[in-house]
Amino acid sequence: MKTEKIKYQDGSIVLEGYFAIDESKPGKKPVVLVFHDWSGRNEFADQKAEELAKLGFAGFAVDMFGIGKLGKTNEEKMALMQPLADSRDALRRRALAGFEVAKKLDGVDSKKIAAMGFCFGGLCALDLAREGADLKGVLSFHGLLHNAPHIADKKILAKILAFHGHNDPMVKPDVVLAFEKEMTEANVDWQMHIFGGTSHAFTNPNANDHALGLIYQATAAKRSWIMGQEFLREIFA
């Protein structure tokens, strides 16, 4: 497997993505952008890119915060995430910067692109779709589903699959219903799978913050990844 760190920019902000591809298999590969959580482009995101490469795709872990920027405490993570969460136009531009880089990477099929995101990264992947990017599909794992009503969305081209924990304190039932209404009114091919007894960050083995509701749930993590693989095979067929 070939792995490579890729520097790119969003305006004056220098970013660094992580690219993984299995060059032993012939032909150009569909590429999946991986959007990280509020920590920054961390080991978890890079490992997901590698897992995607092992499945026969290419994986590109996008950097949303800037080269080397990783939060360790919740306060540091919030300080990194909040500026983009508050300025969704800026968030979408940053996500598009990663998208433009990914489709030009060596060995990638630029007509077969998808995005997946975890927590804050789910919001990034969904906003990339809301921006009208030419994506085959989007996977949101315990993502923030909130839309920004003051921003004019473009036609969503991607199929959408969202995985959500029923007990997620960060995405309450009214937000879920609003998301479903948004997707339906936009005439999107969408699915949502809700796991009972499951909170936020359920795919992250290091999530163990009961006060914030960040709790790893192995069964939900396994089931969502299996369903996610089937979704990718479907959209890239």
What is the pLDDT, as a whole number, of residue 179?
Answer: 98
* Residue 23 phi, psi (nearest 5): -80, -5
Low-confidence ranges of the chain (pLDDT < 70): none
Residue length of the chain: 237
**pLDDT for res 25:** 85
Q: Specify which residues 16 forms β-bridges with.
A: 7
**Architecture (CATH level 2) of domain 2-236:** 3-Layer(aba) Sandwich (3.40)
Q: Could you give the 3-state DSSP secondary structure of residue 10? A: strand
Under 8 Å between Cβ of 216 and 206: yes
Sequence-separated (6 or more) residues with CB below 8 Å from residue 32: 49, 52, 57, 58, 59, 60, 113, 114, 115, 116, 232
> Over the stretch 174-197, which tens digit does the pLDDT of each residue have?
999 999 999 999 999 999 999 999
What pLDDT does residue 78 have?
97
The pTM (predicted TM-score) of the whole model is 0.98
What is the predicted pLDDT for the residue at 3? 98
Q: What is the pLDDT of residues 98-140, one digit of tens each?
A: 999 999 999 999 999 999 999 999 999 999 999 999 999 999 9
The domain segmentation of the chain, as residue ranges, is 2-236
Residue 139 and residue 230: Cα distance in Å, rounded?
Answer: 11
Amino acid identity at 149: P
pLDDT for the residue 62: 98
